[in-house]
Amino acid sequence: MFTGKAVAYWRKGLRTQNFGDLLSELLFRELTGRSLLNPFTGRRVAPFDTIHLLGSVISNYHVTADLEHGRGFGAQKIAFWCCGKRDGSTLDEELLEHCVFLGARGPLTRDALHLPAETPLGDPALLLPAIYRPHIDRNLADKTLCVPHFLEKKPDSQLLVETGADMIVRPNIPASIEAIYKIIDQIVSARFVLCGALHAAIVCCAYNSAFSYFDSGYVDAPFKWCDFSASIDIEEHFPGTVLEGERLYGARIHGRIRKPNLERILDCAPYTPPRALQVRLRSYQKAERGRTRTHGPH
Contact 102, 80 (CB under 8 A): yes
Q: Measure the CA–CA gap between 114 and 97, rounded to whole angstroms.
A: 14
Residue closest to 196 by CA, chosen among 217, 213, 173: 213
- Residue 4 counted as domain residue: no
- Residue 169 counted as domain residue: yes
Strands 172-174 and 16-18: antiparallel
Asked if 145 and 113 sit in the same domain, the reply is no
Q: Which residue segment(s) compose the domain that 169 sits in?
A: 130-253
- Residue 272 counted as domain residue: yes
Asked if 197 and 142 sit in the same domain, the reply is yes
* Per-residue pLDDT reduced to its tens digit, 21-53: 999 999 999 998 765 445 455 677 788 999 999
Give me the phi and psi of 27, to 5 degrees please: -65, -40
Q: Measure the CA–CA gap between 274 and 157, rounded to whole angstroms.
A: 45
Asked if 22 and 66 sit in the same domain, the reply is yes
- Residue 7 counted as domain residue: no
Asked if 235 and 177 sit in the same domain, the reply is yes
- Residue 88 counted as domain residue: yes
Number of domains in the chain: 2
- Residue 294 counted as domain residue: no
Task: Count the residues in the chain.
Answer: 298
3-state SS assignment for residue 29: helix
Q: Which residues of the chain have pLDDT under 50?
A: 36-37, 39, 298
Asked if 113 and 153 sit in the same domain, the reply is no
Asked if 59 and 156 sit in the same domain, the reply is no
- Residue 4: per-residue pLDDT: 67
Give me the phi and psi of 29, to 5 degrees please: -60, -40
- Residue 36: per-residue pLDDT: 45
- Residue 60 counted as domain residue: yes
- Residue 185: per-residue pLDDT: 98
- Residue 297 counted as domain residue: no
Asked if 231 and 138 sit in the same domain, the reply is yes
Asked if 151 and 119 sit in the same domain, the reply is no
* Per-residue pLDDT reduced to its tens digit, 112-149: 999 999 999 999 999 999 999 999 999 999 999 999 99
Asked if 94 and 177 sit in the same domain, the reply is no
Asked if 119 and 188 sit in the same domain, the reply is no
Q: Measure the CA–CA gap between 12 and 52, rounded to whole angstroms.
A: 12
- Residue 3: per-residue pLDDT: 65
Asked if 185 and 280 sit in the same domain, the reply is no
Q: Measure the CA–CA gap between 206 and 173, rounded to whole angstroms.
A: 20
Asked if 191 and 82 sit in the same domain, the reply is no
Contact 58, 119 (CB under 8 A): no
pTM: 0.94
